[in-house]
Structure 1
């Protein structure tokens, strides 16, 4: 038994507090340490549960005495305290790993990828919920996994997971793992080595066996390259836009594809079909998300009629190609969640009108080459929204005639509106993190929407 062993939680936000509550239930000696200020709602949860904590700094002696440390996914490996714990040989795990150890019989559909995670997670959850399943949505969207286990365990967990959460797993094993795509992101956390980031994403399959299912994108170059040299134990199902059900040693004819504007989901002899025009969310990226969600739902035993119904009733997520308003013939679209270049590619690809693009923020080592052709084809002006915009100017000044700088959402909206004409679209799709000017991407999107409404 692990009775009264010392559990230290580093970070007291959603995942940390969830792990603390679960640790308390499982009779660990729990202590929470946060270098910053703990949000009032989380402080109250800890106090109500009688869990000891500190904020505004770390007491090294107490942390180094831990038998197990659960660290926030936001804490990088290069943090001094993590280096000391590693040197001492202390076990460190992520909150999803800690939750997995106590989840009981519940089944997990875990979804990762550089883009589309939140939409696909919410869509998969929506299908299972519509079908009457006992299901919760956890991870980076909804409750933390550990907190859900404490408050209301369910038969199914649909989980959005990031590479940071997958970095510190040991036994975490989803029944269904979904890898949507891989494009450069968060390279600052991976020593600017793309191969390290790719490996982190594939950690989702690390502990899977032949009894499990891995669902992934046949059209993604990085995924296909990795699979050539890294065999996957789980049964692998592909989704594709090319209807190329090419077999390898792990695949079979089940999977999902689009053909002649029809979306097909094939599983165990049943072919679920519907027109892509009947999907409630539009754009090629959402066809990929729908295929991934649909095949995940079929592996969970959900029938075609429920999947079709769910696809037509699903409401997209805030800050992801969210239509805001039309002002004097100019459409405004909030895609603040687009924090990398590949997200912007999908956003621009789905635009049918001339675009005034609001771009910029905290650059994570962006290479804009990927969107160069789409920008040349569709973008008439760029409004920079960030403290340091020189990379955007350098790359796009020979392609886009108008590039202006702003440092607030209100100014960005006013500048974009002045550059737009009737039947244009103003698209906030920044390709960058938001922390230079905003609390997070939600704050950036909310301020954008407020600025549009005040026009």
Structure 2
């Protein structure tokens, strides 16, 4: 852990959102920062302008190993692979690795909630943030997590900060935070790999195949996710999905209180939020039982989003949020951009933007969210993940598939290899814009056009958000 950065020499790899935020904060706190990026100085013009008022040194066009000669700490931006030669050389030299979330956790003065998972973490994090904000606005009081066996309370958090792997990096705001605030973070497996601090409340929503191009094996990927629990104490709370084997198998790593959530009744002795057969969401903690709401009041489509809501209720309960605030937040919540986001209806066809779906399993959950006939748009860049299960589901549930991007041929082979009585109409486009036009051609009134790529955006766009914004734009231009 580092608490005094004055006079240190820090090298940051990657001048995207997280790298820029960290460079600004470290520079402000006296570190001699070098920001290295593979892009040219011309391509980095806007990034350099945003840091013009700092003393940051730029290293453009690559990551030469000699940068390590004057480096005390190497910080990785999100998505920077550990296989980079400069990262491997830093490990050999014993140079410690860090990132913006680790450094934030080293200095944050308030309680923290951390949420991770292969799918659903952005939706859940955003919803928990809205629950916390409503609790704050309603002037409620939160139970002191350090006094679980007493009736002690603390004043409501004056400010709620939501960020991490989404939105603004919270390192931008940590200097203004106070002990009474609350920080809610979405944390990716990439960030967790360098982290040695766990949040006070840590939730793992699920662990399914994802980012195997980065982690190599499911074991390594699971180990990265498990680090969110590793550094908790007996005063902290862990929340694990009971329905997901990958998450629930980590319960022996819990150091403090264990809560769970499930789409089914919980066995005796388990505490958390769950759903009855009649669709009533409820919460149990010891001898206390609390009915919450009926499933039909949730505006988000799909059973996977019911699980996200149950997770949010469990997290909110652990944090001491007011019940009314949680219920109102759920009833008003209509999701976040690029996650089954309704774009428009044109000639009886409803278009949905699910650009956040960067793994086949995430796309499968999106397919299950609808009963209507589906025109499915799949593609992007493959992450070395299996496509056979979604291929089987496509033959059962999807009438038309429009493929695009680098992974199009790979996905087409997977779908064609699956036999079945139902035939599937397959079409291919090189780029997303052309794929939108093809989907419009084959869709009929009553259909759902589901943009749920299953691959990353990096073959054509800088991230899933840019991809989703372009999808939305091109759909709106259809006439």
- TM class by smaller structure: over 0.9
Aligned: 1:241 with 2:224: no
416 and 45 in structure 1: CA distance in 2 versus 1, 3 angstrom threshold = closer
Distance 2:240 2:133 in 1: 23
Q: Could you say which residue in structure 1 is the equivalent of 2:60?
A: 55
The secondary structure found in structure 1 opposite 2:377 is: strand
C-alpha contact (below 8 Å) 2:205/2:247 kept by paired residues: no
Distance 1:4 1:213 in 2: 37
C-alpha contact (below 8 Å) 1:272/1:304 kept by paired residues: no
Which range is displaced more, 265-274 or 295-304? Answer: 265-274
The secondary structure found in structure 2 opposite 1:47 is: coil
**Deviation of residue 267 (structure 1)?**
4.1
Aligned: 1:315 with 2:334: yes
Distance 2:36 2:385 in 1: 33
Distance 1:151 1:26 in 2: 14
Q: Could you say which residue in structure 2 is the equivalent of 1:265?
A: 283
Structure 1 residues 99-158: Cα deviation after superposition (integer angstroms, max 9, x where no partner): 111112x11111100001111111111110111141111111122132221465671111
Distance 1:255 1:275 in 2: 16
Distance 1:88 1:109 in 2: 34
Distance 1:313 1:201 in 2: 30
Superposed counterparts of 1:42-441, under 5 Å: 42-58=47-63, 60-104=65-109, 106-132=110-136, 133=157, 134-150=159-175, 155-170=181-196, 172-191=197-216, 193-227=217-251, 230-245=252-267, 247=269, 253-259=270-276, 260-267=278-285, 269=288, 271-397=290-416, 398-399=419-420, 400-441=423-464
Distance 1:444 1:66 in 2: 36
Which range is displaced more, 402-411 or 206-215? Answer: 402-411
Which range is displaced more, 146-155 or 259-268? Answer: 146-155
**Deviation of residue 187 (structure 1)?**
0.3
Distance 1:52 1:451 in 2: 39
C-alpha contact (below 8 Å) 1:333/1:427 kept by paired residues: yes
Structure 1 residues 262-285: Cα deviation after superposition (integer angstroms, max 9, x where no partner): 111334735141011111322111
Which range is displaced more, 365-374 or 313-322? Answer: 365-374
**Deviation of residue 380 (structure 1)?**
0.5
Q: Could you say which residue in structure 1 is the equivalent of 2:14?
A: 11
Q: In structure 2, list runs of 5 or more residues that go unmatched.
A: 137-156
C-alpha contact (below 8 Å) 2:5/2:26 kept by paired residues: no
Aligned-CA RMSD value: 2.0
Distance 2:17 2:371 in 1: 39
C-alpha contact (below 8 Å) 1:267/1:295 kept by paired residues: no
C-alpha contact (below 8 Å) 2:212/2:385 kept by paired residues: no
Distance 1:328 1:203 in 2: 49
**Deviation of residue 169 (structure 1)?**
1.1
67 and 388 in structure 1: CA distance in 2 versus 1, 3 angstrom threshold = closer
**Deviation of residue 13 (structure 1)?**
2.0
Q: In structure 1, list runs of 5 or more residues that go unmatched.
A: 248-252
Distance 1:270 1:261 in 2: 16
Distance 1:389 1:62 in 2: 39
Which range is displaced more, 296-305 or 208-217? Answer: 296-305
Distance 1:246 1:125 in 2: 30
Q: Could you say which residue in structure 1 is the equivalent of 2:145?
A: none
**Deviation of residue 368 (structure 1)?**
2.3
C-alpha contact (below 8 Å) 2:350/2:446 kept by paired residues: yes
C-alpha contact (below 8 Å) 1:280/1:313 kept by paired residues: yes
Distance 2:454 2:248 in 1: 25
**Deviation of residue 59 (structure 1)?**
5.1
Distance 2:26 2:229 in 1: 26
190 and 382 in structure 1: CA distance in 2 versus 1, 3 angstrom threshold = same
Q: How many aligned residue pairs are there? A: 445
Distance 1:332 1:408 in 2: 18
